[in-house]
Structure 1
């Protein structure tokens, strides 16, 4: 079995669902993976300059020798539809030849992000199965012509897919009716992270025995447009004896005049996540509540559970259900003296078993 994986994120980024999908594929016997880095899905804007000049340096985990990474070179004109196809035709044909040289009769094409490039490939390349992994409500990332283009492309690829998998119930509710076959495969935790946490729990216990240290509300993830700064500032001001530690790449402006008990740190390598988690007392998931986050099942929830942390979250997506079930705490009702039982960790290998 071989996999051509069209990723929504670059390989050199914080380890996310796409990275763990291909890792699981290899663990289940996949002989080779051709990872295709994402192409721009909207017309450029001024905020892109922040990303280009950003000091963020991110990495996932060491790349297996069976994984080859390729970055298509296309202009950011996808919302222009057929104009984009014409302008990009040479690169499209080049990637087609590359995939044909890579493939055999048992090759799966998997897309973690709809695009006109994926549309072209599934219409012009032979494969055993096309899997569409819908892990976000993609159109909600965009506006205007870019959003319209994404709606069209997503609907078309859902119909063309042999199976659609969804990372949350709301996503399945919204898109599954258009698919030939569908399955809900929620997010999970890296098996290596679980092992590292279990091996280091003694260190955590000794650290937590220090009663003079402040309680730590920690967050590991992107500081982007969906990050709810108001909720974080509020919880810091209401709990001045606690330390709010935020770790991750910055993709949006940081508010001025943050409370002194909030600290912001650069992104860390995936191998260091377990060490940081064991320094936390609570795991924060402070996301804004909107149409985009309504479909989210955050990976960090599973990572926090693996570390035995009480999860403190906004009421969005799958987290709303967990707050109602009492396995997470509403960020607006946080009490440093209250904890809840956390769910047992589930790994990506367990999650993706039905696919392989």
Structure 2
């Protein structure tokens, strides 16, 4: 029954092989399919009549971190370096290119790499000395950590899941005023400096970081305004407006 009373939305956030056995069933039951990335839109284009590209959003006010003090551990790290590379989120070994991060850290021992989030059991005991794993932090105070970074990292592997992704951390970093350093994957197509600095190799990654740092030094105020202007159209409210408009188009529901 696909009446308004039984309107079903299939919200696809990842192109994960674990979903493959269930995908045909989910598509057949859904009235509307949401795709978090253009890659997923392309995947579903011939499989369902009602598709909506709905990327992740961000609470821009939250990431301004107004009134949040600088965490003591970030003060300590800042005292040791002029450059903090930051990663926030799930440090999942199926996603993150850990080898690349270690090589970047080893190549630039004067930089500090800070990781905030669930490590999913990864053992950092063998990590370079300039990598600091802080563990998980409550969402309420996460912006106070992110805003201490000089750049925000999206160091994903190049695999099926990553190619179909639409990482929320991109919008969170930008909302915090940071330049984003990301592997060159479909989700950053069309996003250029000073928003995103893309790379393909370890050497590219280091160059991208250095370019972002130089741009911040020379044009920081202009760059931060461009990032703020961009994420102003990427809030969760903006995303929900798109979703509600699509539901109204397909149903008689008043939302």
Return the alpha-carbon distance in structure 2 between the equivalents of residues 175 and 351 of structure 1. 20
Partner of 1:329: 197
Among candidates 177, 194, 214, match of residue 338 of structure 1: 214
Partner of 1:355: 243
Deviation at 1:179, TM superposition (A): 1.2
Deviation digits for residues 131-164 of structure 1 (CA, Å, limit 9, x no counterpart): 111111132xx3xxxxxxx324212211321111
Among candidates 152, 155, 160, match of residue 29 of structure 2: 160
Larger RCO: Structure 1 or Structure 2 (Cα < 8 Å, ≥ 6 residues apart)?
2
Flag the 1:279–1:326 CA change in 2: closer, same or farther, 3 A. Answer: closer
Deviation at 1:192, TM superposition (A): 4.6
CA RMSD of aligned residues (A): 2.9
Name the SS of the counterpart of 2:180 in structure 1: strand
Q: Is the 8 A contact 2:14 2:161 kept in 1?
A: yes
Return the alpha-carbon distance in structure 1 between the equivalents of residues 20 and 209 of structure 2. 42
Ranges in structure 2 where 5+ consecutive residues have no aligned partner: 200-204, 217-222, 245-255
Q: Is the 8 A contact 1:229 1:255 kept in 2?
A: no
Return the alpha-carbon distance in structure 2 between the equivalents of residues 200 and 213 of structure 1. 24
| Residues matched between the structures, number | 218
Partner of 1:135: 13
Q: Please list, as runs of the form range in 1=range in 2, the aligned pairs for 1:79-228 lying within 5 A after superposition.
A: 127-139=5-17, 142=18, 150-194=19-63, 196-197=64-65, 199-200=66-67, 213-224=81-92, 225-228=94-97
TM-score, normalised to structure 2, is 0.75
Return the alpha-carbon distance in structure 2 between the equivalents of residues 264 and 180 of structure 1. 45
Return the alpha-carbon distance in structure 2 between the equivalents of residues 127 and 159 of structure 1. 17
Name the SS of the counterpart of 1:217 in structure 2: strand
Flag the 1:132–1:291 CA change in 2: closer, same or farther, 3 A. Answer: same
Deviation at 1:200, TM superposition (A): 5.0
Return the alpha-carbon distance in structure 2 between the equivalents of residues 296 and 200 of structure 1. 33
Among candidates 107, 110, 120, match of residue 238 of structure 1: 107
Deviation digits for residues 308-331 of structure 1 (CA, Å, limit 9, x no counterpart): 1111111223125425x6631235
Deviation digits for residues 81-115 of structure 1 (CA, Å, limit 9, x no counterpart): xxxxxxxxxxxxxxxxxxxxxxxxxxxxxxxxxxx
TM-score, normalised to structure 1, is 0.55
Partner of 1:288: 157
Return the alpha-carbon distance in structure 2 between the equivalents of residues 293 and 213 of structure 1. 31
1:318 aligns with 2:199: no
Partner of 2:116: 247
Return the alpha-carbon distance in structure 2 between the equivalents of residues 287 and 299 of structure 1. 13
Q: Is the 8 A contact 2:174 2:195 kept in 1?
A: no
1:303 aligns with 2:177: no
Partner of 1:80: none
Return the alpha-carbon distance in structure 2 between the equivalents of residues 226 and 347 of structure 1. 25
